């Protein structure tokens, strides 16, 4: 696992967060601190609320109670300037990549630039090519449409779009799902390189045991609406939480870590 700086400042502070839909409570008084430079791997059973937690933190799902601070800004009252500031400093890559099918790769990558920056078309073209290169794609991918890309390429384009601005925090929702093990390993390596070169704080929802081992600096496990374990692999392996135990000591966990 990647080591992180224990004394770094808190980048994301979640306190007493309650989120629900109808009469179902999905997040039940969740507390979580993520420090600058950490790569967090959020794990939990299907439907345990991983994506809901990610979406709540970025303000896409309304909360019922609690508070969320990102880079020192309280999401309850960010103000127009604060909202813009967060848009510039945080990037999100969703599970399905969510590329716009009618736009080329270049145009997809340029969307956040158009929203947040005032740049000439020429400069945006140069930046888009640079971002493509950063995620390991060839220049001729720029004029392709999403339907012409493989799953792995589409994920890289989605990452390039998330990185379109100079980010401090990157949110990834199951970035390696749907990739074969080699593609997933390549993607993990890319996330590690970006972490080292850009000093990104990364919050990643994942089911991928290799990603947890190779990329994350800390694992956070969620079950029954609460954080039930947090720490390195060693902490997970000795956790007494039933779900964490089953996950790390079950057949897949044994194959990966045993």
Ligand X SMILES: Nc1ncnc2c1ncn2[C@@H]1O[C@H](COP(=O)(O)OP(=O)(O)OP(=O)(O)O)[C@@H](O)[C@H]1O
CA-based nearest residue to 44, from 244, 253, 235, 249: 244
* Minimum CB–partner distance for residue 236 and ligand X (Å): 17
Least CB distance to ligand X at residue 12 (A): 17
Pairing of strands 201-205, 39-44: parallel
Q: Which is nearer to ligand X, 52 or 58 (CB)?
A: 52
- Comparison of 21 and 130: residue with beta carbon closer to ligand X: 21
- Taking the least distance from each CB to ligand X, the nearer of 51 and 110 is 51
Q: How far is the CB of 44 from ligand X (least distance, A)?
A: 5
Residues in touch with ligand X (CB under 6 A): 21, 26, 44, 46-52
CB of 144 vs ligand X, minimal distance in Å: 28
- Of 56, 39, 19, nearest in space to 203 by CA: 39
DSSP state of 5: -
Nearer CB in complex with ligand X: 44/253: 44
Task: Give CA 121 to chain center in angstroms.
Answer: 29
Alpha-carbon distance of 242 to 84, in angstroms, equals 42
Q: Report the C-alpha gap between 138 and 79 in whole angstroms.
A: 39
Closest approach of ligand X to the CB of residue 61, in Å = 7
- Choose between 55 and 106: whose C-beta lies nearer to ligand X: 55
Return the structure tokens found at 231: 């720490």
């Amino acid at each position: 696992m990647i080591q992180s700086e224990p004394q770094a400042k808190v980048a994301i502070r979640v306190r007493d967060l309650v989120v629900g839909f109808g009469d179902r409570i999905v997040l039940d008084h969740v507390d979580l601190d993520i420090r600058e430079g950490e790569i967090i791997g959020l794990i939990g059973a299907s439907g345990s609320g991983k994506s809901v937690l990610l979406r709540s933190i970025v303000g896409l799902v309304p909360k019922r109670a609690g508070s969320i601070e990102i880079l020192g800004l309280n999401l309850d009252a960010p103000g127009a300037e604060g909202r813009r500031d967060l848009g510039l400093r945080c990037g999100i890559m969703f599970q399905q990549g969510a590329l716009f099918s009618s736009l080329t790769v270049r145009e997809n990558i340029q969307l956040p630039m158009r929203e947040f920056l005032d740049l000439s078309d020429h400069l945006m073209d140069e930046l888009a090519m640079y971002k493509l290169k950063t995620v390991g794609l060839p220049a001729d991918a720029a004029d392709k449409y999403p339907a012409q890309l493989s799953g792995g390429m589409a994920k890289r384009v989605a990452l390039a779009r998330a990185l379109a601005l100079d980010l401090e925090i990157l949110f990834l929702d199951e970035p390696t799902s749907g990739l074969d093990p080699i593609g997933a390993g390549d993607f993990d390596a890319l996330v590690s390189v970006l972490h080292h070169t850009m000093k990104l704080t990364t919050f990643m929802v994942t089911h991928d045991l290799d990603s947890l081992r190779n990329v994350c600096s800390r694992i956070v496990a969620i079950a029954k609406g609460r954080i039930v374990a947090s720490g390195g692999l060693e902490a997970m392996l000795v956790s007494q939480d039933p779900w964490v135990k089953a996950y790390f000591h079950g057949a897949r966990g044994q194959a990966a870590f045993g």
